[in-house]
Amino acid sequence: MKKIYILILLLIGIMLSSCSQALRVTNCNPIYVMDTVITITFYNEKEADTHYKKIKEIYQLYDDLADDFSQSSRYENIYSLNEKRKIEAIPELIKLVEDALKLKVDTNGYFNPLIGNLAHIWKGAIEDDGAYPSSEVISSELEKMNNTTVNIIDTTIELIGDANMDLGAIAKGYATEMVINYLASNDVTGYLLSAGESSVALGAKGEDNFKIGLTKPFAKEYIKILECTNTSIGTSSYKYQMKEYAEGLAHHLINPFTGYPSYHYTSVNVMCPNSTLCDAYSTAIFSMDITTAKEFASNKGVDILLYGDNEILYQSEGFL
Amino acid sequence: MKRYRNDIILILAILVVALIATILINRNSTDENLKIYVYSQNKIVYEEVLDNIKEDKLIEIKGSESIVKILVTSDGVKIVESGCTNHVCINQGLIDKAGQTISCLPNEVYVVLRSEEGVDAIV
């Protein structure tokens, strides 16, 4: 009879173990920042509310700092830099601008933080009452961009030249990276951070992989569903920000060498553990031809998927 | 055998209870039903399992700037009317797969489809 009891206890143990593997999922309320919706899901996390509040603060801080359309009520930000040309900035903004300038070098100029004027011109062209910009305007703004420098001395940032700064291409990824660092420093490993359809940062999901759908531009289908964990994916695509003109398609992903929208791809996905790099590289690669993009990604050790003409043009090993 | 009768009854009872508990606890994690969540600002204002939608429903949500009208059908969800200027939310069309979302940022209205077994997020 003792053997039967042991067997029964073993069975109950197996059942309880199966119960304990059930994942506790906490879907937090959305955060509306940076022209997108940030959603956070925690897995098996007891302090989800506390972390949510801190994460919201981080996103709101960088939303304020990177805003180039309006003055922040709390801090000098990119808008005030563009308006005043010289500001006293908090350390977080100094670091953000320094990192953006490093990324310009890192991407061989394919990501350029001084693209502000051109970005606003093309954003205007996408609006309902917009018009296709003239070649004279584009040439003039390109010249301004190429003749502007940024000086950072202690807590002062100064724009020398007539171009404006725009950190929209990296702000979300940068803020997400700050959130990842915060979560890591608090030993939080089970999370999913999603910023609209432009980026995701993945921790762990119990013992499972996340299933991430790579959306096909202009279709309600997936290019593929990727199973992965502990990484980030950034996407650049103009599917929601475009307008057709007789002169060509206007959208917001501008080639900093020509001043015009890039047309090599309809979407670019970049996967690597660093959210800032995913964001910056997806923007930069959007303007590279396929040979340059492949070489760049290989040199940087990141995975890329290039999509255009309704097919995958190239995908590196991590996407296979 | 009679000697063990009570033991056997006890063992069977424990087994049945453990089995039922296992089924109940794991039932949610294997639920494949697609569920619609509609948020206005930071609150869930509507949630429903898509399979439970038998007739089209037009939901009116008070957004930050205007009323947002959301059409829920057995095929999926879409925003059909909004006072926002860019209408990106309307242009996003119908969503019908787990992980898909619609955002009306000016109104701070957010629609998401979630399921336990489907896609966790999209990019």
**How do residues B45-78 score in pLDDT, each as one tens digit?**
999 999 999 999 999 999 999 999 999 999 999 9
Give the pLDDT mean for B85-111: 91
Q: Is B29 a residue whose pLDDT tops 60? A: no
Give chain A positions within 8 Å (CB) of B7: 1, 4
pLDDT of residue A1: 59
Name the percent of chain A lying above pLDDT 90: 86
pLDDT of residue A15: 61
**Is pTM beyond 0.90 here?**
no
Asked if the Cβ–Cβ distance from A212 to B92 is below 8 Å, we say no
Question: Which of B36, B47, B52 lies closest to B96, judged by CA?
Answer: B36
Residue B54 Cα, gap to closest chain A Cα (Å):
23
Asked if the Cβ–Cβ distance from B121 to A212 is below 8 Å, we say yes
pLDDT of residue A119: 96
Asked if the Cβ–Cβ distance from B122 to A213 is below 8 Å, we say yes
pLDDT of residue A27: 94
Helix (H, G, I), strand (E, B) or coil at B123: coil
Q: Is A143 a residue whose pLDDT tops 70? A: yes
Give the pLDDT band of residue B30 (cuts 50, 70, 90): very low
Residue B29 Cα, gap to closest chain A Cα (Å):
7
Of the candidates A8, A234, A269, the beta carbon closest to that of B15 is on A8
pLDDT of residue B28: 42
Give the pLDDT mean for A44-72: 96
Average pLDDT, chain A: 93
Q: Is A10 a residue whose pLDDT tops 70? A: no
pLDDT in tens, A33-54: 998 999 999 999 999 999 999 9
Asked if the Cβ–Cβ distance from B42 to A225 is below 8 Å, we say no
Give the pLDDT band of residue A274 (cuts 50, 70, 90): very high
Give the pLDDT mean for A244-252: 93
Give the pLDDT mean for A249-255: 94
Residue A206 Cα, gap to closest chain B Cα (Å):
12
Of the candidates B39, B85, B122, the beta carbon closest to that of A212 is on B122
Of the candidates A8, A212, A240, the beta carbon closest to that of B88 is on A240
Give the pLDDT mean for B22-47: 73
User: φ and ψ at B89, to 5 degrees?
Assistant: -65, -40
Q: Is B94 a residue whose pLDDT tops 90? A: yes
ipTM over 0.90: no
Least confident of A199-208, A244-253, B24-33: B24-33
Q: How many CB pairs under 8 A join A and B?
A: 109
Give chain A positions within 8 Å (CB) of B119: 211-213, 222, 225
Residue of higher predicted confidence among A21 and A23: A23
Give chain A positions within 8 Å (CB) of B108: 32
Residue B40 Cα, gap to closest chain A Cα (Å):
9
Give chain A positions within 8 Å (CB) of B45: none
Give the pLDDT band of residue A16 (cuts 50, 70, 90): low
Give the pLDDT mean for A21-42: 92
Give the pLDDT mean for A12-19: 58
Asked if the Cβ–Cβ distance from A192 to B121 is below 8 Å, we say yes
Q: Is A2 a residue whose pLDDT tops 70? A: no
